[in-house]
Chain A
Amino acid sequence: MRTQKALWLLVIVIFMNGFLMNELKAQQTVVDSSVLDRITELEKQTSYNKPGMDHFMVVGLATVGFASIKNTTTIGGVSSVSKTNSFPDADHFEFSPMLLWRHGQKFLLEFEPSFSGNSLGVNWADVSYFAAPNLIIRAGYLVLPFGTYSKRLAAGWIDKLPTDPMGIADMAPTDYGVEVEGGLPLGSMKMSYDLALSNGSQLMPDGTLGAGNITDNNNNKTLTGRVALLPFSNSSLEIGVSGMFGKVGDVSTSPTAKGNAYAFDLNYVKLFNPILLNIKSQYNIQDINSNVAQVDSLPYTSNTHATSFFAQGSIRPTGASGFIKNLELAGRYTTYNNPAGSNGLIQNAVTVGLNYWINWRTVFKVGYESYTGNINAASTSNKINSLFLQFSIQL
């Protein structure tokens, strides 16, 4: 009886074991396949999200504004006044998305179309090749390295004031060409170089220069270059000199006409706690020497000597607390003397502004500008007082 009981028990235990084993096995296979599925799925996802070598992003800027302008013209002692109040004008409305492609660590492509002044244009379109550690080679439609304003400070969210200083950017055109540039360590100092070879500007009938020709008007290439020194190890001060040399005349009419220009620039940014001080300045000189053959075939030289200058200071209490640290006060003095074109011989402007920085790349500006100019004839003068409201954001 006992052995029979024991036998039955054994049979039951064996049966249960078998059942449990089967169950376990079945469970194991279920677990295994779901884990495998999950792993395959994750593998798929990672390969889908594999970063690759390339990267594309859209940056750029948008600026909207309002300008209230009072223009007083005095001719021979008699004044007339005109007023305008407008939302977007050429200086105060711009929408410019910038497309940036990066191929690994070697290539960077930039294209910035721009809607401004009621038309669609292109600010620059170029390819940069990072050839060696401190050597970048660029080709395409480039902002020439003349001074610093055009290339570095003109964007609405960078500029401390709502207007551009007159005559400064005009002398640093965008042109088709090639460029080499880079920064170099120099002990506790630093330097940078930026050299470009381009088609060059073209002398216009009114004595001013036009730029951006796809066919060179004289087959002579213009050399533009800037060298800068940052004498302090904290990079607070940068001084630069630039030169631009090339023929500007059309090959058929004035093949010897030359345009030489020089620029000197200074940039100083330093925190004197709690105030961040920012000083920027640039002085441009442009000489155009055109030898035009007269009817009696005696050479007649017509020279144009133009200069432009701005000095700008701004302070921001970055060390303060609350909303005060987002405020910035800026002032600028500008002169522009150009006998050619319709600009006028002696022009100057004083611009002041108060900015509120919503964040590092978003600003609201209020500015006031007082401009005086003598249009070529000495008896004609022009006074313009303007109030600007501007909002600018980096895209």
Chain B
Amino acid sequence: MKMLKMKNISLLIVVLFFVTLLPLLMDSCKPSQKVAAKSGVQLWAENCQRCHNTPSPNTFSPEQWETIGMHMQTRALLTQSEREKIVAFLKQ
């Protein structure tokens, strides 16, 4: 009985999560003006520290940053525009 309850609660939370996300999604997937105006350096400082220390741009060559940018998009699920701006900054 307890097990069933626990499962139901989990299912409920998962469903609720989707239901609350849905209207947000329908509001169309667009960044706000403030978010769209963020620079590569700001996005680098905000996003890369979420999992590990923020990497120094000097660590890799521009070619390597291009590859790592794609790799980190698969890990961090960055938006395309975030990836492009961050990589452009790291390549400098």
- Flag if A269 contacts B49 (CB, 8 Å): yes
Is A327 close to B, CB under 8 A? Answer: no
Is B41 close to A, CB under 8 A? Answer: no
Question: Given the complex of chains A and B, what is the CA–CA distance between A244 and B24 in angstroms?
Answer: 24
- Flag if B50 contacts A267 (CB, 8 Å): yes
Known: A184-B29, A235-B46. A102 touches B66 (CB 8 A): yes
Is A57 close to B, CB under 8 A? Answer: yes
Q: Contact string, B48-68, partner A, CB cutoff 8 A, digits 1/0? A: 011111111001000110111
Interface size class of A (residues with CB under 8 A): 35 or more
Provide the residues of chain A in CB contact with B54, threshold 8 Å. Answer: 360
- Flag if A227 contacts B82 (CB, 8 Å): no
Main secondary structure of the interface of A (DSSP, over half): strand
- Flag if A108 contacts B3 (CB, 8 Å): no
Is B81 close to A, CB under 8 A? Answer: yes
Q: Contact string, B29-43, partner A, CB cutoff 8 A, digits 1/0? A: 111101110000000
Residues of chain A having any CB pair with chain B under 8 Å: 51, 55, 57, 59, 100, 102, 105, 108, 110, 128, 130, 133-134, 136, 138, 151-153, 155, 157-158, 181-194, 227-229, 233-236, 238, 241, 243, 260, 262, 264, 267, 269, 276, 285, 287, 303, 305, 357, 359-361
Selected A-B contacts with CB under 8 Å, 19 pairs: A55-B64, A55-B67, A102-B66, A128-B70, A133-B79, A183-B82, A184-B25, A186-B31, A187-B24, A187-B31, A188-B31, A227-B17, A227-B21, A228-B77, A229-B21, A236-B46, A262-B10, A262-B14, A285-B7
10 nearest interchain CB pairs? A192-B77, A185-B31, A133-B80, A360-B53, A183-B77, A262-B10, A102-B67, A188-B32, A184-B29, A183-B79
